[in-house]
A = this chain, B = another copy of it.
Amino acid sequence: MADTARAERAREARELRRAQILAVALQVFSEKGYHAASISDVVKAAGVARGTFYQYFDSKHAIFHELLDQLIAGLSASIVGVDLSEGAAPVRQQLIGTVTRIVDAVDTNRPFVRIVLRVAVGLDAEVDAKLEEFYGNIRSVIALSLRRGQMMGLIRECDPELAAVCVLGSFRAVIEQYLGSDDEVDTHRLALGILEFSLKGLLA
């Protein structure tokens, strides 16, 4: 029984260590980029030996992909389409909620933003594919919502795919512009601004 308890403690310690190295690597990658960041940087920052790193991760490549997967999964979770069924909250309110939720999630995860929006761009084919899948999923959700909106007469006539690209593009741009740095921002104002732009356009 003592053995079980000890093994359990050991397992937990391992997971903690692993999580710690992941967190440190996230910082290092987001600060220096993928290529400029060396495993030396990571282990120095984590205060572990080189070998320890390789006990937990197969390679520099591997830990980066694990980070990327984890980050993408985290964000994917907060992205949901609009609920148009009866009894659901008003559409506009839902949209404000979703946008605010995402902006806040991003706001509290700055290193994340840098990796997905800047560090991981154009790295290699596999990374590109992952990001493209991620963005593709989001575009699909948006396009689907737009198509439904069109059927209900809420959304004007237009190519939903192209519109989805535009919506996601403006969204990403705002996030990159305002949350890419370390400054404080009024996330609520941003969420509202993005939404108004996408819904009402700029004409008076």
A residues touching B (Cβ–Cβ < 8 Å)?
33, 35-36, 114, 118-124, 128, 146, 149-150, 153-156, 158-159, 162-163, 165-174, 176-178, 189-190, 193-194, 196-204
Contact = CB atoms under 8 A, between A and B. Distances in A.
A173 B163 contact: no
* Residue from A121, A150, A169, A178 whose CB has the most chain B CB atoms within 10 Å: A169
A174 B203 contact: no
Contacts of A154: 203-204
Contacts of A178: 165
A151 to B, nearest CB: 11
Query: DSSP class of A's interface residues: helix, strand, loop or mixed?
Result: helix
A53 to B, nearest CB: 17
B193 A158 contact: yes
Contacts of A153: 204
A197 B193 contact: no
A166 B162 contact: no
Contacts of A173: 165-166, 168-170, 172-173
A202 B196 contact: no
A134 to B, nearest CB: 14
Given A169-B174, A172-B169, A203 B155 contact: yes
